[in-house]
Copies of this chain bind each other. A is one copy, B any other.
Amino acid sequence: MPAPDRPRLGQLGEDEVLRQVLGRYPGAPRWLRVPPGDDAAVLDLAAFGGEAVVAAMDTVVEGRDFVREWSTGVDVGVKIAAQNFADIAAMGARPVALLVSLTAPGDLPVAFATDLADGLAAECARAGAVVAGGDLSDGDSIVVSATALGAVVSGVVRRSGAGVGDTVALAGALGASAAGLALLQAGITELDEATTARLQAEGTGHDEAAAAVAWALAAHRRPAPPYRAGPAAAAAGATAMIDVSDGLVRDAGRVAVASGVVIDLRSDLLLADPTPADPRLAVVATVLQDPALVGEWLMTGGEDHALLACFAPQTLLPPPFRPIGVVSATTEPQPAPAERQTTVRLDGRRWSGPPGWHHWPIATR
């Protein structure tokens, strides 16, 4: 919790907070014809060769999607930018701009808002995009909504085009954010002496374990989606694509349902070195004394925002895509929600574990 003498939003007022926040962003590129400060931003899409704009919106809520004990304002800024830009990349498009709305109580330290802006600016820079607008509102809790805009550069890839026989491929990390979250939930942000001794007895050195813990925590706090893989997949003719935000089973299921197919994942491919099953996942699982966690993280861990794409057979997969399975024909009608169907199989069997992240989990009676 912040020191009580730091300035609060309500002390500075909207105009001054806005001035400080806008000061965190770099100068506007030429294609941002009207930058933040007017009624609306204006973007010249001709600079990207396209006449189509891609738009996605996502929100994070304090206490649900982040807690300030575990994530700084910079972390939250990176995360919301990343999850929105991942949706743009998952259409095969290039991220170009972000609009951000911060709702917060008047006693929130201004530093949170400026840290948030720093995180947004950093991830925008990584994605090749800019913060183009947004707004500030007074509210009881912190809610950050963001809208990402993208430009179509080589075609649009939807969820619905996967065909039987297609290769299922993945770009980016899987399970790393879930491993970091599991560490935070276990109260582990660094290794104590007892854990170090136990790990060493089991053959894992302190430095290796500490590096794996730091890697998983960073992956949870600041996901790094492989944005360029999105347009690369579109250029290579991907038939379907989605970003893995709610877990592999749930998001692969969405592609399967939209395309009317079954997605057959293979554990030998998922566990192949080096990605997507990063060997540090196993180290983190050892720290948490439960090796079975690795499989659960890989299959249901969300928020890494890897890109899952399908490609016609014989397509040369554009790097960094790696094969993780194949598309098969469905043998049943598809009326029920994705998670109750056999739309995703692992090594030929229906996944029987938890499906992944839900808002408002359905009440069990």
A positions within 8 Å CB-CB of B: 9-17, 33-34, 37-46, 51-61, 63-65, 87-88, 90-91, 93, 97, 99-101, 103, 106, 132-141, 143, 145, 147-150, 152, 156, 158-160, 241-243, 258, 337-338, 358-363
Do B40 and A138 touch across chains, with their CB atoms under 8 A apart?
no
Cβ B61 vs Cβ A158 within 8 A = no
Is the Cβ of B147 less than 8 Å from the Cβ of A59? no
Q: Which 3 pairs, one residue from A and one from B, show the smallest C-beta to C-beta distance?
A: A40-B56, A145-B145, A147-B147
> In the assembled complex, how far is the CB of residue A64 from the closest CB belonging to chain B, in whole angstroms?
5
- Report 8 cross-chain contacts, Cβ distance below 8 Å, ordered by A residue: A10-B361, A39-B56, A40-B90, A42-B91, A44-B52, A45-B52, A53-B149, A58-B135
A76 to chain B, nearest CB (A): 14
Q: B14, B41, B88, B362: which contacts A56 (Cβ < 8 A)? A: B41
Give the shortest distance, in Å, between A31 (CB) and chain B (any CB): 9
Q: Report whether A15 and B337 are in contact in the complex, using a CB–CB cutoff of 8 Å.
A: yes
Minimal Cβ-Cβ distance residue in B for A48:
B51
Tell whether, in the assembled complex, residue A42 and residue B33 are in contact, meaning their CB atoms are under 8 Å apart: no
Q: Using Cβ atoms and an 8 Å threshold, which residues of chain B touch A139?
A: 61, 63-64, 141, 143
Indicate the member of A64, A99, A136 with the most B CB atoms within 10 Å: A99
Residues on the B chain within 8 Å of A33, using CB: 52, 156
Rounded to whole angstroms, the CA-CA distance of A258 and B165 in the bound complex is 59
Q: What residue of chain B has the Cβ atom nearest to residue A40's Cβ?
A: B56
Contacts A138-B359, A360-B9; A45 near B53 (Cβ below 8 A): yes
Whole-angstrom CA separation of A110 from B53 in the bound complex: 31
Residues in B neighbouring A91, C-beta threshold 8 A: 34, 38-40, 42
Check B361 against A39 for contact (C-beta < 8 Å): no
Chain B residues in 8 Å Cβ range of A87? 39-40
Report the Cα distance A59→B88, complex, angstroms. 22
Closest-by-CB residue of B relative to A9 is: B360
- Interchain nearest-CB distance for A13 vs B (Å): 4
List the B side residues contacting A148 at CB < 8 Å.
Answer: 40
Contacts of A42 in B (CB 8 A): 52-55, 91, 93, 152, 156
